[in-house]
């Protein structure tokens, strides 16, 4: 344990004690992988939507929308550092027109409802989902984590899918300003929405969108410009 700084009277200084408390609180928080998300749109929020959005920053294991307070949800990430990434990138971001708050929860895990307990589909376990982005160690996805951006990176596009199809699909979720296939690899493209807010909505709606029987679109935020 860290020894508090001693004042000239041999008593631990208030500053030293305060610093230790801060360090301890940070250490306790850093070990927790559960997030409290508030100010959500009750009409639009679903466990799957939160799985997709928070899944940009880590593998989401469980989501619980609170039964008596449906603009609040608990999101359990696979690891504490993923929870910290989500706080850093998603706190105060506009989702469905509302600035959400993302903070550390005091819960250390999200409980599944007991057998026979009514839940109305508000709690969902995604632990074994095939859609996790970070399951493979050293996955390229780990190097491509960016804050929400108006430009989205698309991948896993089959050869028969044209620009118009993708632009029309994304236009259901906002205004498409620009689109560009990667010159060397047509499986990937960049698409620019009119705002970061629209890009967030589009990512939630379009990530894992089926483009063929075997190809599901992958959508990420990007640091590129078109």
* Tens digit of each residue's pLDDT (9 = 90 or more) over 26-75: 444 557 999 999 999 999 999 999 999 999 999 999 999 999 999 999 99
Choose among 38, 36, 30, 46: nearest CA to 76: 36
Q: In the predicted model, what is the mean pLDDT of the chain?
A: 89
Q: Interhelix angle for 80-90 vs 47-54, to 10°?
A: 90
| pLDDT-above-90 percentage for the chain | 78
Q: Give the position of tokens 């899918």.
A: 161
The predicted pLDDT at position 9 comes to 46
Give the pair of three-digit tokens for residue 100. Answer: 């959400």
Burial 85-98 (b: 16+ CB within 10 A, else e): bbbebbeebebbeb
Q: Residue 192 belongs to what H/E stretch?
A: strand 185-193
Residue-by-residue pLDDT tens, the chain, 226 positions:
555 554 444 445 555 555 555 455 444 455 799 999 999 999 999 999 999 999 999 999 999 999 999 999 999 999 999 999 999 999 999 999 999 999 999 999 999 998 888 788 999 999 999 999 987 766 666 677 999 999 999 999 999 999 999 999 999 999 999 999 999 999 999 999 999 999 999 999 999 999 999 999 999 999 999 9
The predicted pLDDT at position 136 comes to 72
Residue 58 CB partners (closer than 8 Å, separation 6+): 77, 78, 79, 81, 82, 83, 85, 86, 134
Residue 179 and residue 166 in contact, taking contact as beta carbons nearer than 8 Å: yes
Reported pTM: 0.84
Residue 162 CB partners (closer than 8 Å, separation 6+): none
The predicted pLDDT at position 199 comes to 98
């Amino acid at each position: 344990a860290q020894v508090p700084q001693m004042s000239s009277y041999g008593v631990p200084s208030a500053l030293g004690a305060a610093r230790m408390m801060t360090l301890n609180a940070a250490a306790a928080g850093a070990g927790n992988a559960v997030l409290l998300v508030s100010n959500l749109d009750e009409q639009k929020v679903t466990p799957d939507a939160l799985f997709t959005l928070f899944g940009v920053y880590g593998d989401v294991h469980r989501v619980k929308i609170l039964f008596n307070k449906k603009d609040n949800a608990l999101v359990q990430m696979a690891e504490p550092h993923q929870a910290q990434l989500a706080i850093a990138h998603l706190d105060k971001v506009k989702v469905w027109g509302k600035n959400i708050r993302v903070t550390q929860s005091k819960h250390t895990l999200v409980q599944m409802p007991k057998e026979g307990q009514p839940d109305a589909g508000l709690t969902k376990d995604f632990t074994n989902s095939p859609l996790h982005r970070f399951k493979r160690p050293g996955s390229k996805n780990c190097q491509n984590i960016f804050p929400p951006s108006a430009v989205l990176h698309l991948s896993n596009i089959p050869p028969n899918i044209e620009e118009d199809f993708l632009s029309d699909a994304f236009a259901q979720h906002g205004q498409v300003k620009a689109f560009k296939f990667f010159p060397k690899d047509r499986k990937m493209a960049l698409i620019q929405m009119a705002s970061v807010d629209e890009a967030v909505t589009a990512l939630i709606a379009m990530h894992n969108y089926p483009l063929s029987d075997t190809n599901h679109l992958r959508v990420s935020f990007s640091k590129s410009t078109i």
